[in-house]
Structure 1
Amino acid sequence: MEFEQLREFRRELHRNPEPAFAEIGTAARIERAIAGLPVAVLTGKAAQDLSGVVDYPLPETLDRWEADAIAAGAVPERARYFRENGTAQVVDLEGSRPGPRWGLRVDIDALPMSESTEPDHFPAAQGFAATNGAMHACGHDAHATIGVGLLHRLADHDFAGSLRVLFQPAEEGVRGAQTMIDAGVADGIDRMLAVHMSGGLPVGAVVGSFTGGMATRKLKVNFDGLASHAAGAPEAGRNALLAASMSALAIMAVPRFSSADTRLNVGTLVAGDGVNIVPSSAVITCEARATDDVVVDELVDRIRSIVAGTAAAQGVDAEVAVMGQSATLTPDDELIDRIVGAATAQPGVLDVIRTQTLAGSDDANLLIRHVQARGGQGAYIMIGASSPGPHHSATFDIAEDAIGVGIDLLESVIRSR
């Protein structure tokens, strides 16, 4: 694909963003964009195991996004397939000579937020801003485009080994990578890469790999009590809202650790039925993060203890479920050296930064660590994208030249001997 085609593909994805596990039209567009290439494609249960997903989108939610995908041009049969079987795709391309199996994770989901309509916002000015209540506010449209472009670029087979591109749903909330790991698609990879746009870096800047980052667990806690008349028989009720509220306050009061940087947050609390009813149900969502994997597990253990204690105090039942997770990242120096060497030789790369600390969490780290645990190597490349607004904001955007930088770099990394 020529750059103009890639740019139009990116804009089509940007115009039609879809949230986690509902990337139905996105998956159909990716499938269409790689049609005719000499690749093998895994979809459905072969690409991801959805059996362990907590809070998978409701049928009516998937119905909405399926209808939107068809209205925007997806073939109805393919939209229905991805709606029913999941949106992950794993694409294999063989090289012409022996060598390692490369893996590349590119995420495809958008955020549940509205995009700026201001005339100085480039997608709005050019007519490809999203209007459906979701937004590619973290560059995943560009990541998916890089994955498609790299497959086209390497379709001549002139490289050693093979390439497996993982088009991953549900990175936001760190929920999708584990479903692909559980399907076994990362088991045979020797060198695992991920790529991400960095809005805070200028076009032409490349980071050989993120390091560190925050391990995280995203938790959902259900409290199940007993309703009663709040005036006539308050003693007969079991107040789930009070248990949830006590838990929320106690979670935020968990001591911080001297050995790691930690974060705790209670994001939502939904409870009750009416002002005169003792609340019989409540749900909170919360997250724990830490720069140490052992510490984040300790934080989760403390949250579980808090929930058990407050549930017992109010006489309600409670259940804690992990909705999403990620780990810290220690990339491999040998692979970073290869990336830095390739970047230094690229005409479009003006600044090469060997490593940079990751401030947030990304479940590509799970894929990289999975490969490393089996003797492979991994790194997480950052591409400068010159965004006018911060990540996850209504004014986020990427300079489209950054897509070409990313494809050129990855091609060089994989082709180099």
Structure 2
Amino acid sequence: MEVKERIGEWFEHFHANPEVSLKEFKTTAKLVEILSGMGVEHKTFEDVTGVVAEIGEGDEIIAVRADIDALWQEVGGVFKANHSCGHDANIAMVLGALTYLKTEDLGGRIRFIFQPAEEQGNGAVSMIERGAVDGVSHLFGVHLRPIEEIPFGKITPAIHHGAAVFLEGKITGVDAHGARPHQGKNVIDPLFAINHFLKTIYFSPYEAYSVKLTKMQAGGDSVNIIPGSATFALDARAQSNAVLNELMERITEGILAVGQMYGVEIKTEWTDYTPAAEVSKESVEIARTGILETVGEEGLAPAVITSGSDDFHFYTIHRPELKATMIGIGADLQPGLHHPDMTFNYEALDVGARVLAATLKKAILLNKK
């Protein structure tokens, strides 16, 4: 069977059997089955899903990462696991690259990291803690891109993801009868104050950032009760880690001031922080060379800058010496990532696998010089 056909079969399997973060048990088992069938050395972990495989020999180690988890979302009126972010495609492309390379004399080692829990934002850290990037000099990622960014046939050597974080909060005031508002502390007032405050946060117009409330819950079925309890959540994003850190500080200070002003208790917790991309120029140039070698000048796309985020960038936050970039594969993907009915041109799978293989091989050759 040709490699292209095998890549297609792998994609179909993982697409039909999605699993959510840290529950990728069958996905891990299937990866082990595939790698064992290829005779590729690999290891799993007792306390977390995911697989790390390696081919080649030598001191130099280059790595590539594929995320393996699916989203939990409503599809056709039913909530279920769904690969609407394209991780099934990422798995298939990385397996394809491994297949193209495993019989070659590489002159170094290539590590394949099949990472769990990207959607939860903590899968990369779990792999770092288990030695997945120990000794690695260059790290590459891969991801399908929406048609609005790049079309099928185009490939970018770098995706500049933004940083993102969520805040969840609870406001505790005092319930009261609607006829006696002076006896209570209405939590709806500080909720609106928080929303207004967020709109007063400004940075330089040359910086990309956003913050907005995404959830507000207060009160019950009775409309004559002043609610004394509320919950809320907000989404904060920035194109740089420095701006997001300052944004978080301002939000924390502002919400504290709102609580003091209204005399209510506001407890908050930051969750699911994902850092912005720290992209290596050297790795970008290697990926660019791999793209040109595979699809030519007409297939090379400029770097993509997106407010979306990816936990791939925890690798460089925790290991600053890593030279990393994520390659973006144009696939006519639409309506968009995370849409329950997302679809794309499957021809992109083999193209992505061949670009990855060329990039990884080039990285070893350049690193040995």
If the TM-score is normalised by the length of the shorter chain, which range does it land in?
Answer: 0.7 to 0.9
1:40, 1:253 → 2: CA distance? 52
Residue 44 of structure 2 is aligned with which of 33, 37, 42?
42
CA contact (8 A) 1:16 1:132 kept: no
1:313, 1:347 → 2: CA distance? 61
Structure 1 counterpart of 2:151, which letter? P
Task: Quote the residue 2:238 is aligned against.
Answer: 290
What is the TM-score of this pair, normalised by structure 2?
Answer: 0.83
Distance 1:310 1:137, change over 3 A: same
1:11, 1:152 → 2: CA distance? 17
Task: Quote the residue 2:156 is aligned against.
Answer: 207
Task: Quote the residue 1:76 is aligned against.
Answer: none
Task: Quote the residue 1:197 is aligned against.
Answer: 144
Residue 103 of structure 1 is aligned with which of 56, 63, 76?
63
Q: Deviation at 1:242?
A: 4.0
> Which structure has more strand as a fraction of its residues?
2
The answer as to 2:290 corresponding to 1:363 is no
Q: After superposition, where does 1:143-182 map in structure 2 within 5 Å? A: 143-156=90-103, 158-172=105-119, 174-182=121-129
Distance 1:273 1:369, change over 3 A: same
Q: Deviation at 1:383?
A: 1.2
2:130, 2:228 → 1: CA distance? 38
CA contact (8 A) 1:340 1:354 kept: no
Q: Deviation at 1:222?
A: 3.0
CA contact (8 A) 1:222 1:320 kept: yes
The answer as to 2:216 corresponding to 1:269 is yes
Task: Quote the residue 1:3 is aligned against.
Answer: 4
2:34, 2:264 → 1: CA distance? 52
The answer as to 2:59 corresponding to 1:113 is no
Residue 217 of structure 1 is aligned with which of 162, 165, 169?
165
The answer as to 2:89 corresponding to 1:142 is yes
CA contact (8 A) 1:160 1:415 kept: no
Q: Deviation at 1:347?
A: 5.4
The CA RMSD measured in Å over matched residues stands at 3.1
What is the TM-score of this pair, normalised by structure 1?
Answer: 0.74
- State the number of aligned residues: 358
Q: Deviation at 1:195?
A: 0.5
Q: Which runs of 5+ in 1 are unaligned?
A: 45-84, 118-130
Distance 1:349 1:160, change over 3 A: farther
CA contact (8 A) 2:288 2:300 kept: yes
The answer as to 2:338 corresponding to 1:392 is yes
Taking only the aligned residue pairs, the percentage that are identical comes to 25
1:31, 1:242 → 2: CA distance? 55
Distance 1:388 1:286, change over 3 A: closer
Q: After superposition, where does 1:15-414 map in structure 2 within 5 Å? A: 15-36=16-37, 37-44=39-46, 85-87=47-49, 89-99=50-60, 101-115=61-75, 133-156=80-103, 158-172=105-119, 174-183=121-130, 185-200=132-147, 201-211=150-160, 213-223=161-171, 225=172, 228-230=175-177, 237-275=184-222, 277-346=225-294, 350-371=298-319, 373-374=320-321, 376-414=322-360
CA contact (8 A) 2:237 2:307 kept: no
2:14, 2:7 → 1: CA distance? 11
Distance 1:208 1:347, change over 3 A: closer
Considering Cα pairs closer than 8 Å and 6+ residues apart, tell me whether 1 or 2 has the greater RCO.
Answer: 2
2:209, 2:257 → 1: CA distance? 23
CA contact (8 A) 2:68 2:115 kept: yes
2:80 counterpart SS class: coil
CA contact (8 A) 2:28 2:51 kept: no
2:303 counterpart SS class: strand
Q: Which runs of 5+ in 2 are unaligned?
A: none
Task: Quote the residue 1:75 is aligned against.
Answer: none
1:319, 1:184 → 2: CA distance? 36
CA contact (8 A) 2:176 2:228 kept: no
